[in-house]
A and B are shown apart, each in its own frame.
Chain A
Amino acid sequence: MSSANRNTTPVNRRRFLQDAARVAGACAVGGMALTKLATDARALPAQALRPPGALPEEHFLAACIRCGLCVRDCPYDTLKLAELGLDGAATGTPFFTARDVPCEMCEDIPCVVACPTGALDHDLTNIDDSRMGLAVLIDEEKCLNALGLRCDVCYRVCPVIDKAITLELSHNQRSGAHAIFMPVVHSDHCTGCGKCEKSCVLPGEAAIKVLPIRVATADAADHYRLGWEEDTPLVDELIDLPDRLPGPGTDNLVAPGGYLPEGMPDPSMEGGFAPSYGLPGIGGAGQ
Chain B
Amino acid sequence: MKRIQTPSKPVRRGWKRRAGRAPRPRPRNMLFSENLKIALRALRANKMRSVLTILGIVIGVATVVALLSIGEGATASITSQIQSGGSNLLTISPGRMQAGPAALSGGSQQASHLYYADYQLLDRALTTNISDIVPVYQASYTVKFGSESFSAPTVGVMEAHKEVRSFEMADGRFITEGDNKSQTLVAVLGSSVAEDLFGELSPIGKIISINGLKFQVVGVLEAKGSSIGSPDENIFIPIETGYNKLFGESAVYNGRKTVNNILVSVTDEKNMDTVSATVEYMLRRSHELKTSDELDFNVMNQSDTLETLNTVTQTLTIFLGAIAGISLLVGGIGIMNIMLVSVTERTKEIGLRKAVGATKNQILTQLLIETFTLSLLCGVVGILLGVGIALAFSVSGLISSVITANSILLAFFFALIIGIFFGLYPAFRAANLHPMVALRYE
Partners in one complex: no
User: Measuring CB to CB, which residues of chain A are less than 8 angstroms from any residue of chain B?
Assistant: none
User: Measuring CB to CB, which residues of chain B are less than 8 angstroms from any residue of chain A?
Assistant: none
